[in-house]
Amino acid sequence: MIESLPLLAWPSFRQALTILIFHRVLAAPDPLRPGEPDAAGFDQFMNFIARHFAVLPLREAAERLRQGRLPRRACCITFDDGYADNLTVALPILEKYRLPATVFIATGYLDGGRMFNDAVIDAIAMTGHTRLDLTEVGLGEHSIASLEERRAAVSAILEQLKYRPPEQRRHDVARLHELSDCAPLPSDIMLTSEQVRELSRRGVGIGGHTINHPILASVEDDVARQEIAGGKQRLEAITGKPVSTFAYPNGRPHRDYAARHVDMVRELGFELAVSTAHGVGNPDGDSFQLPRFTPWGATNVKRCAQMLRNAWTGRAAATC
């Protein structure tokens, strides 16, 4: 099959763990969320992964990586943040191909919450306005008449909001929503506690991702510690199982988290953690900073070529 041709060049002489990151799997394509796969695209990709990769549960893969016992083309599947579609759309596809996965959940958004990026996207999707003047909250003025303009506005606004302090960001997003004059935003985007229990019952690994998804490097240390510990406790209370895996919010070494946060995660009783640095896990790497990778191509040939490049170039993944 032509789509698997790049796999002939897969590095076979060393232990390499590819960990894929997803956020949402949309029931249908959403033009304002072009980076998120829809059910059909995810199904096609998972079919490919199931045929050509050895997909392992994350904890088992990390253990075998440490011991140098990984199978060839070892791979893990992870989702960040805790979207309801991980259960309703992604899980039936994963079960069809018998693929294990881990979902990292920011517990502050469970049961009707919404992350700031979704609030911005949905307000801009739902507003009847063709212009949005957000200068009073320092977010500029945007023409949003066409789809291209809406996409450009979303990306410019999110980039500016991402590193604002959480309290200010909440205020600015609420004001954006008011100025857009749109209807109440959907409240069923994120998982409910019951849905988390169901994911766990059906064999999906549940991992920590803090409470409010702060950029750890930009909050005080005691806040960072409470965020990491509090998310873990809540998930353990919901599932009745220990939570031993963690994903750093945003996940870029140095910029989003620092070495002291790696120590916190270890001290708080996690067994492993994942970043969003590109590359593949190798036996000499830090199991509290395992790299992850998102193949963004629209076809299996492209995704496979991207995974191959990631496997070859990502030997020394960035760490703190």
Binding site for Zn ion (CB under 5 A): 80-81
Minimum CB separation of residue 2 from Zn ion in Å reads 34
| Cβ-based nearer residue to Zn ion, 43 or 80 | 80
SS3 state at 293 = strand
DSSP result, 86-148: IIIIIHHHHHHTT---EEEE-GGGTTT---HHHHHHHHHHH---SEEE-GGGT--EEE-SSHH
Minimum CB separation of residue 209 from Zn ion in Å reads 6
Of 154, 191, 194, 146, the C-alpha closest to 176 is: 154
| Cβ-based nearer residue to Zn ion, 16 or 199 | 199
Q: Within the chain, what is the greatest distance between any pair of CA atoms?
A: 58
- Please answer whether residues 71 and 58 qualify as being in contact, where contact means their C-beta atoms are separated by less than 8 angstroms: no
Minimum CB separation of residue 274 from Zn ion in Å reads 11
Minimum CB separation of residue 104 from Zn ion in Å reads 7
Residues near 59 by beta carbon (within 8 Å), at least 6 away in sequence: 205, 244, 245, 271, 272
Distance in angstroms (rounded) separating the CA atoms of residues 100 and 117: 28
Minimum CB separation of residue 172 from Zn ion in Å reads 19
| Cβ-based nearer residue to Zn ion, 81 or 118 | 81
Distance in angstroms (rounded) separating the CA atoms of residues 153 and 85: 25
Q: Which two tokens stand for residue 158?
A: 């999110």
Residue with tokens 């999110």: 158
Of 199, 215, 211, the C-alpha closest to 161 is: 215
Alpha-helical runs (H) found in the chain = 39-52, 58-67, 85, 91-96, 116-126, 147-161, 166-180, 193-201, 221-239, 259-267, 300-313
Q: Which residue is nearest to Zn ion (CB)?
A: 80
| Cβ-based nearer residue to Zn ion, 80 or 172 | 80
Minimum CB separation of residue 70 from Zn ion in Å reads 26
Minimum CB separation of residue 276 from Zn ion in Å reads 9
| Cβ-based nearer residue to Zn ion, 144 or 190 | 190
Minimum CB separation of residue 206 from Zn ion in Å reads 14
